Amino acid sequence: MKIKQIKVFICSPGRNFVTVKVITDSGLYGLGDATVNGREMAVVTYLEEHLVPCLIGRSAHDIEDIWQYLYKGVYWRKGAINMAAIAAIDMALWDIKGKVAGLPVYQLLGGRSRRGVTLYAHANGETIETTLEMAEEHIKQGFKAIRLQSAVPGLNVTYGVLGDKKDYYELQGNRPLPPEEDWSTHKYFNMVEDLFRQARERFGNDVQLLHDVHSRLTPIESARLGKLLEKYNLLFLEDASMAENQDNYKVIRQHTTIPLAIGETYNTIWDCKDLIQNQLIDYIRVAATHAGGITALRRITDFASVYNVKTAPHGAPDLSPICFAAHMHLNTWAPNFGIQEFVGLGNEQIRQVFQQDIQIKDGMAHLSDAPGLGIEFDESAAKEYPYRRSYLPVSRLEDGTVWNW
């Protein structure tokens, strides 16, 4: 079964997504996600000009060989654009293989390791009270793990807080130029312990709580935060410090026992190898779209399992439903799966473009046994939502210095 055609689509049903459709000479096709937030057109060009011509006529069954060919066959390895393009092709080939076999992808990976996939929901608000009210709604819906993010008093915008936007898609989908946001570590520390103190007083210890620092702190500041929050028993502290320097986490680990998670900006196993091997983290959060697809994430997952590191895949709205479906299959299989980030199954427009059969009940997600990834892409609906240039924000300290967003 040969690859006959590869189509690349970019659409914006609330936010931009790059979708790849690999079509075989038998008529079967597979879908993949190649979205890189704020740099979508770079991936589209890379796919159309550099990858697609090399793949026509190759066997769609040769997933491993094609992955190695795309990764090792270029001098410029790694990188967000390259790995997202490889990821989309890889997902699509796994989708095809599942359809040929008549099996869901998780069965090809080795079958089920659990009945369902545990999710954590997002709760955010302009005040601690509104954040906790949203958390309470999630708990009523059956979620047993909640990420808490609250606006920092005195800052114009706070990461993870929607403000006057109805959802993440409205927040992220209309930024024709990068907005600039203030940051103050001092003001953040004045708020953050109170958030978790009130949460534990209100919800007790049965609900798992999480928090995303989003790389705003230095290693020693992160260590201080970890010690401050230890008594509130967080499931994990995410992106406590900058991802590029893995030695940052040696400093943090020396001072606190709070569980640590990182990985959403990593593109290969080499980015996280030392963190995993030295057990400097407890959860690895690489995403299939950003780190080379199902083939690559399976390797990272197996490697992490040797060192007692669990998976907690990135699940923000900058990943399309195709990536979420890929994560669901990996999560269903992985023996060392921990938890999956969850921001919903998209808005009405997204559900018009992407159709999937994933059931959410009591804070868990359940796959159907549809062959392949179990997701469809409506090309006609996608045309109704053309690409709109949109950026992630830039962060500045209060004196104007550019900081880590």
Give me the amino acid identity at 132: L
Alpha-carbon distance of 66 to 219, in angstroms, equals: 39
Q: Which of 46, 106, 120, 159 is catalytic?
A: 159
> Does residue 224 sit in helix, strand or coil?
helix
Q: CA dist 289 to 18, 29, 85, 157, 179, Å? A: 10, 18, 8, 28, 25
The token pair at 209 is 């709580």
* CA angle at 256 for the pair 250 and 262, rounded to the nearest 5°: 55
Number of Cβ within 10 Å of residue 125's Cβ equals 21
CB contact at 8 A, 129 and 68: no
Q: Which residue has the tokens 């608000």?
A: 125
Q: Give the whole-angstrom CA distance, residue 159 versus residue 137.
A: 21
Dihedral angle sign, alpha carbons of residues 361, 365, 370, 374: positive
> Catalytic site residue 138?
no
Is 159 annotated in the active site?
yes
Report d(CA 323, CA 314) in Å as an integer. 10
Return the structure tokens found at 70: 């795309």
Task: State phi, psi for 128 to the nearest 5 degrees.
Answer: -60, -40
The one catalytic residue among 122, 138, 214, 327: 214
Phi-psi label, residue 183: left if phi above 0, alpha if psi -120 to 50, beta otherwise: beta
Distance CA 109, CA 369 (A): 14
Nearest to 28 by CA among 51, 61, 52: 61
**CA 282 to CA 187: how far, in whole Å?**
28
Catalytic residues: 159, 214
